[in-house]
């Protein structure tokens, strides 16, 4: 296939490492060249060759209302006309903070930042300061952005490329991170008993190793054990926030973490993140306390406008939005799983609301070790075949797919059809 996308990719590779600004975009795990996107509308993306794709990665999570959703576009345009940035306080920051607080009662106070990476990095700093401890616990296959101490046994691209962590991270930084298997309460008990731990950071529903739900009682155990040992519990809801429920995984499972990180949907597609939680912890931040954290573009007016339009819409249409997402997600997840069955391609389908993964794996996927047993060769062949049929899935076995409110029953039917054909060609070994 040669077309405009390919020549754009060739040009980009000359000036941008790998031609991409985030590694998984390069399609290395699935082969083929990544389409270059020209525009999006609703559930669709169009590439530089004019090909239309049904989008199941939604900019890796943010586009829950679909692309170029008119109320979001309008909010951004109006804000842009008043200037893109001030570096001074605006009413919009308080407006979005109040919307977030109403949805996440555990977040008494919060700070806005410009990415999920900044949110988790800052949450960990304040957790260390508050507890006066330095070790942190994370889980294998969870991704919390690309800060030094969080790349240990990380998910997303780190898992996709099979690298143990990252070059350039000093051993001293990695040494302060304990990486434990997800869904294993005994491992957490041992770690908390043996070491003085500042915090546990967790994706309450793992998305960055593919979708892996928490086992019943697991999050409750994390809550109880951290409280018992004086460690803080951080829910990294950058992906799950406003996705698995309006109030995130903490609403869905009824857990109150000490700190929460948000991003993705929060900014409605603009660069935005937030970290927040108990007021006594958050008041450690400068200018009130000794923990330094700052950002030139933090609380950026365009990001706040897109966030308010997105979160505000989700709140106003909450019941209808999440019911629709559940129905569409169940239909595509189950429909594709059934097509795999019919073709004799063993799949394990994990789904929590509008977040799901088809693992090319006949065994249950409950942690990174079991996810890693998946047949990534089959996944790659499936991804290529279904992309050629106009369906764009996240280009890695270790990434979750997302549904938006813009998807239609017809899109789902077309996706299941395309999947059927892809499975048949895999089963025939070509
Ligand atoms: C995407 C993601 C991040 C990182 O967010 P960026 O905006 O890419 O820095 C952190 N945590 C989780 C759970 C994520 O899914």
Give per-residue pLDDT as tens, 32-53: 889 999 999 999 999 999 999 9
The reported pLDDT for the residue numbered 162 is: 56
Give me the helices (H) in 132-201, please.
156-160, 171-174, 185-194
Tell me: do 292 and 331 sit in the same domain: no
Q: Picking from 85-94, 152-161, 338-347, 356-365, which range would have the lowest pLDDT averaged per residue?
A: 152-161
Q: Give the atom of ligand 1 at the shortest distance from the alpha carbon of 145.
A: 4
Q: Is 264 annotated as catalytic?
A: yes
The reported pLDDT for the residue numbered 393 is: 98
Q: Which residue's C-alpha comes closest to atom 15 of ligand 1?
A: 239
Please give the share of the chain, as a percent, with pLDDT higher than 90.
89
Tell me: do 97 and 246 sit in the same domain: yes
258: nearest Cα among 107, 115, 142: 107
Q: Determine which one of 258, 264, 322, 411 is catalytic.
A: 264
Give the Å distance between the CA of 428 and the centre of ligand 1. Answer: 38
Tell me: do 159 and 107 sit in the same domain: yes
Is the pLDDT confidence value at 160 over 70? no
- Distance CA(201)–CA(51), nearest Å, equals 40
What is the four-CA torsion angle of 259, 265, 267, 268, rounded to 10 degrees? -170
Tell me: do 274 and 343 sit in the same domain: no
Is the pLDDT confidence value at 199 over 90? yes
In tens, the pLDDT along 203-260 reads 999 999 999 999 999 999 999 999 999 999 999 999 999 999 999 999 999 999 999 9
* Ligand 1, CB cutoff 6 Å, lining residues: 115-117, 120, 143-145, 203, 207-208, 236, 238-239, 263, 273
User: Which of 62, 144, 151, 238, when mutated, tests ligand 1's pocket best, judged by the most ligand atoms within 8 Å of its CB?
Assistant: 238
| Contacts within 8 Å (CB) and 24+ apart, 85-91 | 85/297, 85/300, 85/301, 85/302, 86/301, 87/296, 87/297, 89/299, 90/299, 90/301, 90/304
Tell me: do 115 and 35 sit in the same domain: no
Is the pLDDT confidence value at 430 over 60? no
The reported pLDDT for the residue numbered 164 is: 59
The reported pLDDT for the residue numbered 274 is: 98
Residues 6 or more apart whose Cβ sits within 8 Å of residue 382: 360, 419, 422, 423, 426
Is the pLDDT confidence value at 173 over 90? no
Entry pTM: 0.97
Q: Are 36 and 51 in contact (CB under 8 A)?
A: no
Give the Å distance between the CA of 1 and the centre of ligand 1. Answer: 32
Residue for token pair 């339009």: 309
Q: Which residue's C-alpha comes closest to atom 5 of ligand 1?
A: 116
Q: Give the atom of ligand 1 at the shortest distance from the alpha carbon of 207.
A: 15
Q: Which domain holds residue 235?
A: 70-316
- Distance CA(392)–CA(30), nearest Å, equals 12
Sign of CA dihedral 43, 46, 52, 53: negative
Q: Residue 48: which CATH number?
A: 3.90.1150.10
The reported pLDDT for the residue numbered 429 is: 77
């Amino acid at each position: 296939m040669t077309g405009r996308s390919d020549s754009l990719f060739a040009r980009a590779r000359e000036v941008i490492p790998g031609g991409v600004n985030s590694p998984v975009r390069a399609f290395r795990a699935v082969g083929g060249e990544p389409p270059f996107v020209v525009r999006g509308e609703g559930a669709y993306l169009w590439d530089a060759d004019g090909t239309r794709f049904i989008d199941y990665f939604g900019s890796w999570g943010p586009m829950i209302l679909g692309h170029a959703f008119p109320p979001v576009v309008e909010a951004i345009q109006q804000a842009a006309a008043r200037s893109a940035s001030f570096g001074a306080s605006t009413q919009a920051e308080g407006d979005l903070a109040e919307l977030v607080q109403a949805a996440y009662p555990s977040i008494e106070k919060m700070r806005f930042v410009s990415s999920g990476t900044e949110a988790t990095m800052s949450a960990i700093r304040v957790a260390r300061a508050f507890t006066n401890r330095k070790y942190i616990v994370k889980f294998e296959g969870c991704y919390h952005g690309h800060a030094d101490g969080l790349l240990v046994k990380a998910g997303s691209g780190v898992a996709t490329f099979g690298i143990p962590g990252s070059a350039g991270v000093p051993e001293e930084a990695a040494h302060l991170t304990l990486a434990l298997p997800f869904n294993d309460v005994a491992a957490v008990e041992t770690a908390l008993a043996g070491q003085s731990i500042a915090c546990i950071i967790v994706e309450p529903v793992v998305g960055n190793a593919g979708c892996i739900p928490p086992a019943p009682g697991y999050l409750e155990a994390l809550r109880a054990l951290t409280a018992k040992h004086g460690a803080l519990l951080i829910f990294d809801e950058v992906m799950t926030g406003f996705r698995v429920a309006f109030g995130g995984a903490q609403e869905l499972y009824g857990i109150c973490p000490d700190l929460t990180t948000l991003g993705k949907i929060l900014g409605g597609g603009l660069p935005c993140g937030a970290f927040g939680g108990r007021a006594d912890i958050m008041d450690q931040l400068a200018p009130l306390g000794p923990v330094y954290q700052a950002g030139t573009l933090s609380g950026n007016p365009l990001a706040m406008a897109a966030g308010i339009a997105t979160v505000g819409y989700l709140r106003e249409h909450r019941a209808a939005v999440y019911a629709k997402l559940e129905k569409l997600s169940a239909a595509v997840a189950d429909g594709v799983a059934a097509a795999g069955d019919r073709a004799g391609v063993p799949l394990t389908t994990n789904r929590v609301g509008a977040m799901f993964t088809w693992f090319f794996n006949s065994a249950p996927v409950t942690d990174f070790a079991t996810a890693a047993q998946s047949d990534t060769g089959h996944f790659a062949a499936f991804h290529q075949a279904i992309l050629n049929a106009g369906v764009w899935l996240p280009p890695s076995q270790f990434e979750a797919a997302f549904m938006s409110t813009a998807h239609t029953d017809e899109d789902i039917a077309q996706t299941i059809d395309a999947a059927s054909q892809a499975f048949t060609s895999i089963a025939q070994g070509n």
